[in-house]
Every structure is written in C-alpha cells, then in structure tokens.
C-alpha cells in the first residue's frame, strides 16, 4: 500500500519536460500527466487530448491497450500497471485500536463516578487516624479493633476498580468485535462488486479492485463508475455527477464533446466504452478521500449531518473509516449516494418525518430517558437519606462534636454512602440495552446473509418486523426473470407457438432478425448452457434475451448480423429509459440512406406505426381503427395470459436529406410494424406461498410494474396478490394520477387516501408514480397507525422510491448499482421469499429486545428497591457495590447475549405487526416484571430481616465499617443471583406462553451462558472472600438458595395463569412517539433533542442515539 501512496509523488515530472521524460515502465504517459488530464472537463479536456495524444486512440496506444480488444490478460503486465499507476482501492483509515476503544468505554460518566469514589475510598483506607481519639469519634470505627480487618479496608475500593476494569474491557471488546463484523460484511459487499471490461477481445466481469489503468471498460445504464476514464465510444450517455459536483442535472457525455468520465458518478442513461486512466487514490474520488483522510479526524461530525458538504464528507469519512487494511476500500462505493441528494435530504428533513428514528429506536430512547431519570432520583434520595441518618444519629442523637481528627473517618462513611448511591444508579440504568440491541442486530444481520438478505443499514432489519405494506416489482422478484417468447403476430397471423421458419416470408424473417440483433444492447447474449441438458444462459437484459432466443428458435443466428454491423458503426442509439419505454437504433444503409429499428411496449409503439407488413412482406396502411382492432384481438388476449407484449418496427430514411436526429419524436414516428411478440415470464413457484404468509402476518402486498394492466392483473392473480371476490383496485399509472391529483395537477393526500387502501396492482407505472404511492402510504394518517412500507426495486429510476420507503430492497442480481446504493437491504437471490425471511428476522429482533427488557427491568426494580430500602433501614445496602456490578454484568452483558441470539420461528409470522405506537413493554410483560419483582422482594426482605433466625447465623445488619463479610448477606446475594438465573429462563417468552423451555436447546449460546454464570457464581461465593463481600456457604444453604431460585419457574406459571385482561391498572411503557408529540419542528431539531437526552442521561446508556447511530453510520456502507 505504501508504494501506492508514494507513487503519486515519485512520478511527478515537471510539466514542461513531459515530452522528453523517458516514460516509466515503457508506457507513454506518466501518472502525473494522467492525473492532470482528469482534472480538465469538456472542451479543455478534448483540446488537451488532441494536443498531447492526437485523439483517444492515441492515448490508448500510449497506454499500450487496444480500444476494441482491450488489454492482454497477462498477469505481469497487469501487475506492472498496478505498480506504476496504483491499484483500484483507497487505503482505509486505520480502525480504532483496542486501547482506543478501552479509552472510549472509560468515558462513561457512571464509571468515572465509581472510579473516583473507589480511589477516594482507597486513599482513605490507607489513612489511619490517631488511635486515642477513636473513642471521641463515636462508634464509627467500632468493628475495626482487629488490625487485620483494618488493613483489609482497601479491598472494597480495589474490587470496585477491578470490576470497573472488567466492565470497560467487556464494552471495548464488544465494540471491537462489532467493528470487525462490519468490516467482514463490508469486504463481502466489495468482493461482490464486479465491473465489465474487455480483455483479449472477451467481455469479462472483474472485481472492481482488479481494474487497472489502460483497461477498456463497458459502461451501461445503472452503473456506478469505479475509476476515471476517457470515453472511446458512447450511445446517448448521460451521467449524474452530483456526487462530485453537487449539480443534480445529468451531464451528456460523448467522445467528441465531453469524454471525461469520473469515478463515483452514476450512469443514468445510455451505454459506451471507456479507457481507464486513473484508479484508486489517483482518481477524482480518491483524491477527495485522501484530502478527507488528512483533514477529517473528528468522529463527532457524523452525529451532526449538517450542511451539504458535511453530508458528502461524512458519508465518505465513515466510508473510508470502517474498513480494515486487508479489505481496503474499493472504489465502487456501494455505500451512500450523498452529495447531490443532500440538498433534497435537507428539504426532506424539514417536511417529512422520513426515517426519523427506527421504530425501536424511538421507543427505546423514550424508555431509557424515563429509567435514567428514575434511577438518578432514587440514587440521589438514597445518598441523602443515608447522609442525613448518619449525621442525625451521630451529631444529634449521640450529641457528638465534629473533631478535626475524626474528619477522615466521617469522610470514609460519606464515601461509602456515595458508593452505595452510585451503585443504585449503575443498577437502575440498563447499560445492557445498547449491547442487547447491538448483539441482536449484528447476530440477525449475520444470519440474514444465509437467507439471502445483505443488510446495509442495521435498523432496516428491525424496521422490517413492523412492515405493514410491501410494494414489489413484478419482473424478477415475483417472476423467475427467465423470459421466453411464446406467442407472436407476424405477417397478419397470430401464432400461439413459435412458427416454423418456412411459414414466414424471407423478407419479414430477415427484417425481424436484423431488427432484434442490431436494436438491442450488444452486451446481451445467449450463451450455451454450462451443464449438459441445462437451459441456455441468458446474459444481459432479460427482455432482449427473450427476443434473441426467438431468433434462435426461428433457426437463425444474431451473431453474424452483429459482426457485419459492429457496435461502433451504429449511427445513433436512443437507449431505453422509463419515459420512452422503447429503444431505437439507426444504421447507415449501403445506398447512403438510413434505417431505424425500434422496439418497445406495444401500446406505445403501435401509436407511432402508420404501416404494417402483410403476409407477403409488403407494406399495408395501419390506421387507428386497425390499431384498436389489433389491441382487442391480439394484444389483450396475450396480456390476459400474463404475457408482456413488445412491438418491433422499423423506418427507412432516404439519402437525400438527413433528418434532425435530436428531434426524437419526429424520427421515431411514421413506423412500419414488423411484429408483435408475447413474452412469458413465469411466476416463481415459491412466491404464492410467500405472499400467503405475508397476508397472514398482516402485511399487504402490492404489485407495482411497468407492464400493461392485463398482464399485471393476470400475474397478480397467479401470485395470490388479488383473490376473486375481494374488493380491490388495479389501476394504470395514468388513471392513478387522474384520481389523486386535483384540477391544478397537484397531488392531494385526501384523494390518495381514497385510493391506496384498496390498490393492489399499479400497472404501466413510472418511477415517479412508485415514489408517489410510497410517499402517499407513509404520509397517510387514515389508519390507526402510520404504515411501515417496504419497497423492492432494481432500476436506476427506482432510487427515489427505495430511499423514501422505510425499508428499500434492491435486487442483487438484476439491480443496478444506483438502486443498491439507495437501498437498505440487498436481496442476493432477487427472490420475494427472502423478503418474508427478513420480516421474520425483524420481528425476532423486536422480540429479543423485549425479552431482554423483561428480564433486565425485573432485576432493576428489585435491585434498586433492595438497595434503597436496605440503605434507609439498615444504613447499608444488602448488596455491596462489587456484587451489584457482578449482577449488572450478568444481567447486562451475558443476558443480552443469551436472549438476543434466540433464533426466529415460523410462529412469528402468525401475528399482526406491532406498529409504531404499540408500547415496547406490553401489559403481559408488565405483569411478568411486577409479578416476579414481588416474589423476589418478598424473599429478599424475608431473608434480610428474619434470615438469621431461619438459618441460625449471625445477623449481618448494622455491621460497622470494614467488618468481615457475613454469611447472612452472602445468602441474600446468592439467592438474588439464583432467582435472576431462573428468571432468565422465564424471560424467553413474552406473550404469556406456558412452556418456557420450548426450543431452549436450539440456542446453545443461551444454555452456555446460564450454566457459565452459575459456575462463576459458585466460585465467587465460595472463594470470593473480602473483595466480593462473600463468606463461603454450606451445602444446605446452597440448596436453599437453589430451591428459592427454582421457585421462580413455579411462580412464573402462577403469573401466567392471571389473565392480563383483568389487570386494567397496569400501564404499558415505552410507547413510540405519539403523532401529536412529533411536530415537524421537533423532527427538524432531532439533533438538539438528542443532546438534551444525553445531558439527562449518561452517554453510555443511550445507544440508540450514539451506539445505534454509530452502528448505522458504520453500516451506512454495509
């Protein structure tokens, strides 16, 4: 990597010497020349190319490459190019070291307070006040006569420090493994990123990192350019350069006007070939990254997505930041298409509550703030009561005077009270929540990879569990995307199967073969099958593959035609886009005239036809009446069979006057229809079942397609999206727009609200219609709660809808880079059933968090009440600081691991989505939390106040400072932990199920953790001694503790018997932000809101702000 970074320095000749420099490695251009060339645009660049190299082919010669054949696939040559011109990746920013993460974990406010308290306590324990005054200080040091005991005073402080170190190491390790996981995911995405180049005259798909300077790359609609290059030949090429320039208008590129193509920009239309001139750190994006690497150290920028350049920057920063050296960041950043869209996003932020926070985040934030406040109040009250009690008892009741020499003794007491207070706070605040969410999401993401879901934004996985609507594409998602022509209309005859070639007039057949072979992307091909007996492989656009397959079925071949008229001899190409819904190619005829071939959606193209070929291959007039006739008799029957109809036509221009090619409407008109074909794309066999599952799970599936309405309706019926006898709507884009717009042509939400609830199929829809529909459903307020919408898309133009949706799914196989970039999850197999899996995982995440909360809050309630009342009644917490930290570790780290890794089950799909307003803690959970808390508190208080009589041991209450640990308090601690362990098993079910052991062995992590915790607990109690304030227990005492613990399971059954519906008094907690609470301004000020909450609570707690935000930024590129 070092050489690459330096290479930019080594090869910087002075500009005026550039002719004489003996060029490095035998190439005719230096790195510096190419870098300075790529900084020019438009006419300047052309002039520079002409002056320095003559033309683009001159540049190719200097780079020792052929514009048509590409590079020889020779490893030595490729290696040499990498050494001289650099590799195509950007060296990533170094990941945080483990020590840095430890330092970050130490910043946690609560831990700092504990550290300070522990250090003060340590310091005081080493300070021995003069002995003779000890009487005067009262009974405060009563138990410390024993020298050995007095010396052991330092142990508590040391133990607290030690447990703080444990917590810090665990947190740091979690962060570290989390980051490592993201890098793994990252590298997976990057390895999958391929680009088409020509080497040895063959088209190859190579990983983006393998591109070298001099490669000839094919660029096509939907690509994200992975390197800088100069256009050799292009058809109707338009590029979106907003990610570099911020200009949202598309830039038209052509070899003779503006041939400069820059890395990180999107191809919005057309196709072409370019020679790669700069890769990695020397490309335009790479240069920006290098600058950022130098200047962008402040992590915090990520939190404040402020101005546009910040946005563009921080996307890049986080992008560059989260990879590791080996993976290194490839140039094709499948990460965040920010830049130009940032302005839109700023506008959006002001008026649309889009992705404000994910559903879970919103609820958790609220809950954490509530718990944090409660904890703070409780701990403050505890400290105040302890101090007041001590002061009143010592100075008022006993009437002592504060003597100077007694100060350290008193301070020692105050420190002890302070430590108890902090411990209450530590236990009250659920630090484990961030961890549980992180673990649960990370675990799900990892497993979802196996289910063909590549999650790029972590929270998408959880949002998916709340989805109420899915707007799906038809082609490739619901269907197999293996298209074949099954019906055709040629020479006045409707063939229901492939006609025999002999049945067709040679003229028609010849025209048809030329029209299809030439007027389709030359990258689309049909290759022989890989295995004997398999189907031929379709490469490229599937509709075009179907047409090429039709030629092969007619016993003709498309390859000779393409060789006769190679791609660079095509005179003009109007590429397919969603507005035209057609593609046309112009070729020059031998007589000097021109011929235009056109193909496209039949109802659109037939309107432009004025003639049609009859059975003899002669022209016959084609009037509007004939057209209506044809639509009724040919096209509609084909569409009702679920076929997609394509019309193929041509037009001749005389040599006398060349038409104005830019006037497209004029050129593509007055056509002659050659044929209309019906293409079948069969429904995937597993889709109807998947859609049934969705409907049962309360999710409405809608189909949004560019196909004609009859085709769409037929496919929707086959999939089960529409069922006979149901009240549903199937609309075309035009009709949909007519219904939702007012007289001025503006979209009205009220009108939309009348349409979308019943809408199941939207046909002939443009990308804008898709976006309108998604936005309309999300913004609608008609239902009881806001809809959560998932959308699938594959085309460049689906970008806006994918971004707008709560969860955007892009197709991994058929999807363009732009679509993947806008999406949250990539379906690696393009299959609808994977979406259902995503729903299952999403619901599972939500349930895992709920399970964890149910367990965590029970422990919190009990521990806080015990510490509080214990402190108030006996001036000492029955659970010591170190014990509390251990309990905290069990219930936070371990429980989050155990409960967050439960695998999902099919039963998750049998209930309706929770929705945005359903509280995180349901009534049933509240019943469980309070029910178990009552049991645990009863046991603990019984033990605290009459335990010594029951076990016939010394009472541990009112023990003086530094007294040895008592068996009494050890039993309380042990019983407490045992009850938590068994309650952890209860927490596995949150919907009031009786069998809490159901499926427990399918989760080995859970079993290991419960047994492991039990083992450590035995060690702590028997050998923990002074640091853990434990004294060893007898077997009988252990059995009693276990017996009480197992009682939790029995008590759980008792609680399950109480019907929740009777307990009206129970409040739910952790609601999502209500509609009325979330005003637009509040949303716009989301950032400040975060700061408030952070002030109210300590930093570590609120993962969903920092942690989850950090996760999301890390995952932005994932």
Q: Which residues are catalytic?
A: 473
The number of CA neighbours under 13 Å toward the Cβ of 956 is 25
How far apart CA 459 and CA 1112 sit, in angstroms, is: 7
Instruction: State the Cα–Cα distance between residues 197 and 276, nearest whole angstrom.
Output: 10
Distance of CA 265 to the CA centre of its chain: 22
**694 Cβ contact list (under 8 Å, min separation 6):** 470, 700, 701, 835, 836, 839
User: Taking Cα atoms as reference points, which of 169, 170, 164 lies closest to residue 118?
Assistant: 164
Nearest-angstrom CA–CA distance, 913 and 81: 55
Contact 676, 443 (CB under 8 A): no
Strand partners, 789: 469
Other beta carbons less than 10 A from residue 836's beta carbon: 22
DSSP string, 607-667: TTEEEEE-TTS-EEE--HHHHHHHIIIIIHHHHHTTEEEEEEEEEEE-SSS---TT-HHHH
Separation of alpha carbons 425 and 380, rounded Å: 9
Distances (CA, A) of 111 to 168, 427, 938, 1099, 1100: 9, 12, 31, 11, 10
**Of 551, 565, 423, nearest to 499 (Cα)?**
551
**How does DSSP classify residue 364?**
H
Distance CA 189, CA 1118 (A): 7
Partners of residue 595 on adjacent β-strands:
587, 652
Helix 98-106 × helix 109-126 angle, to 10°: 80
Q: Which of 790, 838, 823 is nearest to 462 (CA)?
A: 838
Q: Got the DSSP string for 589-609?
A: -TTS-EEEEEEEEHHHHHTTE
C-alpha 561/C-alpha 574 separation (Å) is 20
Residues 6+ apart with CB under 8 A from 800: 767, 768, 771, 822
- For residue 952, CA distances in Å to 955, 969, 1037 come to 9, 13, 11
């Amino acid at each position: 990597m070092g050489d690459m970074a330096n290479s930019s320095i080594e090869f910087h000749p002075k500009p005026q010497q550039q002719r004489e420099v003996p060029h490095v490695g035998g190439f005719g251009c230096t790195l510096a020349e190419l870098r300075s060339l790529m900084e020019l645009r438009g006419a300047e660049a052309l002039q520079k190319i002409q002056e320095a190299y003559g033309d683009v082919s001159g540049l190719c010669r200097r780079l020792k490459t052929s514009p048509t054949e590409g590079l020889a696939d020779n490893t030595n040559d490729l290696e040499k190019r990498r050494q001289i011109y650099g590799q195509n990746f950007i060296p990533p920013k170094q990941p945080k070291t483990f020590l840095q993460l430890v330092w970050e974990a130490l910043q946690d406010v609560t831990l700092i307070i504990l550290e300070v308290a522990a250090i003060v306590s340590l310091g005081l324990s080493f300070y021995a006040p003069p002995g003779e005054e000890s009487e005067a200080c009262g009974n405060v040091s009563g138990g410390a006569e024993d020298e050995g005991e007095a010396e052991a005073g330092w142990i508590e402080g040391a133990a607290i420090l030690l447990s703080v170190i444990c917590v810090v190491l665990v947190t740091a390790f979690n962060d570290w493994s989390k980051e490592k996981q993201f890098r793994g995911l990252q590298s997976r995405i990057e390895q999958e990123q391929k680009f088409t180049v020509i080497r040895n005259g063959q088209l190859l798909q190579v990983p983006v990192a393998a591109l070298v300077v001099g490669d000839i790359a094919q660029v096509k609609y939907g690509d994200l350019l992975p390197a800088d290059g100069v256009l050799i030949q292009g058809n109707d090429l338009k590029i979106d350069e907003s990610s570099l320039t911020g200009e949202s208008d598309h830039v038209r590129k052509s070899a003779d006007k503006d041939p400069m193509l820059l890395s990180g920009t999107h191809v919005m239309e057309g196709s072409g070939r370019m020679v790669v001139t700069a890769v990695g750190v020397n490309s335009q994006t790479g240069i920006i990254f290098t600058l950022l690497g130098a200047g962008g150290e402040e992590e915090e920028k990520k939190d404040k997505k402020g101005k546009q350049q910040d946005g563009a920057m921080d996307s890049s920063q986080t992008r560059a930041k989260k990879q590791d050296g080996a993976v290194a960041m490839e140039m094709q950043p499948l990460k965040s298409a920010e830049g130009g869209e940032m302005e839109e996003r700023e506008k959006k932020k002001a008026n649309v509550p889009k992705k404000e926070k994910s559903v879970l985040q919103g609820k958790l934030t609220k809950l954490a703030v509530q718990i944090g406040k409660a904890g703070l109040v409780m701990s403050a009250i505890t400290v105040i009561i302890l101090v007041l009690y001590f002061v009143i008892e010592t100075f008022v009741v006993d009437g002592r005077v504060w003597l100077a020499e007694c100060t350290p003794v008193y301070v020692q007491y105050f420190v002890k009270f302070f430590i108890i207070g902090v411990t209450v706070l530590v236990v009250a605040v659920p630090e484990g929540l961030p961890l549980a969410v992180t673990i649960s999401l990370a675990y799900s993401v990892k497993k979802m990879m196996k289910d063909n879901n590549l999650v790029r934004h972590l929270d998408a996985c959880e949002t998916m569990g709340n989805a109420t609507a899915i707007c799906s594409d038809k082609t490739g998602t619901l269907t197999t995307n293996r298209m074949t022509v099954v019906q055709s209309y040629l020479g006045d005859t409707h063939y229901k199967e492939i006609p025999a070639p002999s049945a067709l007039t040679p003229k028609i057949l010849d025209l048809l073969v030329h029209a299809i072979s030439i007027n389709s992307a030359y990258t689309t091909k049909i290759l022989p099958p890989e295995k004997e007996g398999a189907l031929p492989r379709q490469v490229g656009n599937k509709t075009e593959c179907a047409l090429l397959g039709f030629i092969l079925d007619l016993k003709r071949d498309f390859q000779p035609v393409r060789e006769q008229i190679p791609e660079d001899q095509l005179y003009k190409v109007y590429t397919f886009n969603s507005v035209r819904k057609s593609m046309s190619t112009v070729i020059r005829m031998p007589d000097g005239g021109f011929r235009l071939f056109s193909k496209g959606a039949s109802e659109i193209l037939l309107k432009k036809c004025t003639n049609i070929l009859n059975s003899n291959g002669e022209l016959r007039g084609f009037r509007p009446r004939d057209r209506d006739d044809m639509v009724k008799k040919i096209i509609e029957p084909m569409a009702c069979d679920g076929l997609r109809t394509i019309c193929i036509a041509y037009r001749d221009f005389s040599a006398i006057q060349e038409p104005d090619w830019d006037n497209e409407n004029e050129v593509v008109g007055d056509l002659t229809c050659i044929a209309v074909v019906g293409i079948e794309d069969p429904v995937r066999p597993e889709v109807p079942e998947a859609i049934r599952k969705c409907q049962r799970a309360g999710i409405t599936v809608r189909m949004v397609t560019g196909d004609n309405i009859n085709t769409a309706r037929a496919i929707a019926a086959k999939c089960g999206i529409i069922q006979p006898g149901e009240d549903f709507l199937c609309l075309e884009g035009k009709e949909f727009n007519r219904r939702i717009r007012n007289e001025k042509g503006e979209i009205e939400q009220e009108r939309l609200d009348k349409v979308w609830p019943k809408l199941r199929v939207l046909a002939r829809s443009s990308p804008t219609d898709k976006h309108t529909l998604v936005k309309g459903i999300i913004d609608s307020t008609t239902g009881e709660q806001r809809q959560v919408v998932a959308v699938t898309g594959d085309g460049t133009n689906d970008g806006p809808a994918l971004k707008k949706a709560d969860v955007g799914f892009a197709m991994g196989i058929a999807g363009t880079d732009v679509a993947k970039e806008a999406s949250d999850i990539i379906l690696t197999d393009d299959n609808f059933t994977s979406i259902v899996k995503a729903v299952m995982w999403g619901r599972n995440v939500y349930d895992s968090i709920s399970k964890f909360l149910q367990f965590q809050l029970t422990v919190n309630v009990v521990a806080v009440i015990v510490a509080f009342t214990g402190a108030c009644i006996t001036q000492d917490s029955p659970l010591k600081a170190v014990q509390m930290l251990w309990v905290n570790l069990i219930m936070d780290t371990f429980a989050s691991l155990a409960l967050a890794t439960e695998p999902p089950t099919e039963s998750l799909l049998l209930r309706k989505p929770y929705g945005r307003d359903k509280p995180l803690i349901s009534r049933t959970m509240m019943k469980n939390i309070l029910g178990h808390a009552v049991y645990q508190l009863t046991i603990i208080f019984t033990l605290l106040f009459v335990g010594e009589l029951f076990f016939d041991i010394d009472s541990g209450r009112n023990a003086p400072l530094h007294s040895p640990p008592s068996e009494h308090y050890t039993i309380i601690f042990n019983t407490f932990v045992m009850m938590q362990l068994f309650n952890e098993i209860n927490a596995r079910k949150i919907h009031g199920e009786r069998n809490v052991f159901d499926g427990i062995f399918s989760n080995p992590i859970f079993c290991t953790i419960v047994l492991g915790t039990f083992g450590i607990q035995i060690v702590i109690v028997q050998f923990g001694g002074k640091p853990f304030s434990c004294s060893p227990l007898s077997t009988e005492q252990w059995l009693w503790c276990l017996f009480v613990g197992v009682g939790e399971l029995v008590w759980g059954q008792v609680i399950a018997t109480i019907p929740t519906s009777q307990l009206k008094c129970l409040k739910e907690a952790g609601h999502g932000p209500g509609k009325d609470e979330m005003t637009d301004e509040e949303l716009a000020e989301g950032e400040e809101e975060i700061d408030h909450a952070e002030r109210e609570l300590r930093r570590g707690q609120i993962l969903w702000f920092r942690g989850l935000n950090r996760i999301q930024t890390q995952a932005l590129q994932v």
